[in-house]
Structure formats: structure tokens, C-alpha cells
């Protein structure tokens, strides 16, 4: 299956919600991470075709994890998912190569549409 996703969020409930919608949209969840450092390590070992990345996490935040993953793989497809609705963070993430930005609490239909659209691109 080409639609392999890594879900990164320090809140287990958010990972479960994203997992549910991703799987309903035909994605195989190959891993879940609770920190930016775990995300980097899992990205390298699992090689997912898509990553959902929370921004605010302990130790290493999602922006720094995005930066690190994109430095390892310039083609990495990472969607930022965060409660932060700040234009500065959005602009920074897009500049670093994020493919999209979904604000929490997310709209289930919006996230499902995103996964379906991304699934057609793999």
C-alpha cells in the first residue's frame, strides 16, 4: 500500500481521532509518535508517504521536527495539525515545506477530504 502515514501528536486522543479518519480514508497508519524526536526517528525507519505533525510538543516541537525531516528528505510530505491558528507559524511551516496546515479542533470532513486528496497523489 502506498498510502502510509505517520501520525505525530503528544495527545493520544488526537492521534486516535486522526488514525480513525485516516484509516476510513484508505490510509495505513504505520506509526504514531508523541514527540518531535520520535517523529524524526520513525520517519527514517518507516518511510511513510505522509506525516501529520502537531506543532506544540514537549522537548522538540513540530516546527523543528519538520525542519529536520525535510533536511533528511526534501520530498517529505508533512501536514501540520495544530491548535495554533497563527499566521506566523503557518507561514514558517509552509516556508519549511509543509504541504498543508489543519487547525485543531479539526473538522472531520476537512481532514477526510485532505486524506483522500493526498491519497490520489501517492
Span 40-70, pLDDT tens digits: 999 999 999 999 999 989 889 999 999 999 9
Q: Grid coordinates in use for 31? A: 506509526
Q: What is the pLDDT of residue 99?
A: 95
Question: What does residue 85 show for φ and ψ, rounded to 5 degrees?
Answer: -110, 65
Q: DSSP state, 85?
A: -
Q: On the CB side of 12, how many CA atoms lie within 13 Å of its CA?
A: 0
Q: DSSP state, 9?
A: -
The CATH number that applies at residue 95 is: 3.40.50.2300
Segments forming the whole domain that contains residue 103: 4-119
Strands 50-53 and 28-33: unpaired
Domain count within the chain: 1
Measured CA to CA in angstroms, residue 46 lies from 9, 37, 39, 88 at distances of 17, 14, 10, 30
Please state, in angstroms and rounded to a whole number, the distance separating the CA atoms of residues 96 and 12: 26
Please check the confidence at residue 1 and state whether its pLDDT lies above 60.
Answer: no
**Which residues 6+ apart lie within 8 Å of 47 measured at CB?**
4
pLDDT in tens, 4-37: 999 999 999 999 999 999 999 999 999 999 999 9
Measured CA to CA in angstroms, residue 96 lies from 46, 62, 71 at distances of 21, 11, 9
Amino acid at each position: 500500500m502506498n498510502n502510509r502515514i505517520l501520525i505525530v501528536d503528544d495527545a493520544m486522543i488526537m492521534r486516535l481521532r486522526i488514525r480513525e479518519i485516516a484509516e476510513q480514508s484508505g490510509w495505513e497508519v504505520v506509526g504514531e509518535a508523541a514527540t518531535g524526536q520520535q517523529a524524526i526517528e520513525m520517519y527514517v525507519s518507516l518511510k511513510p508517504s505522509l506525516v501529520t505533525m502537531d506543532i506544540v510538543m514537549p522537548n522538540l516541537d513540530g516546527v523543528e521536527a519538520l525542519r529536520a525531516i525535510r533536511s533528511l528528505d526534501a520530498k517529505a510530505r508533512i501536514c501540520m495539525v495544530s491548535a495554533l491558528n497563527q499566521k506566523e507559524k503557518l507561514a514558517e511551516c509552509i516556508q519549511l515545506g509543509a504541504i498543508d496546515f489543519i487547525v485543531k479542533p479539526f473538522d472531520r470532513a476537512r481532514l477526510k477530504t485532505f486524506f483522500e486528496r493526498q491519497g490520489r497523489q501517492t
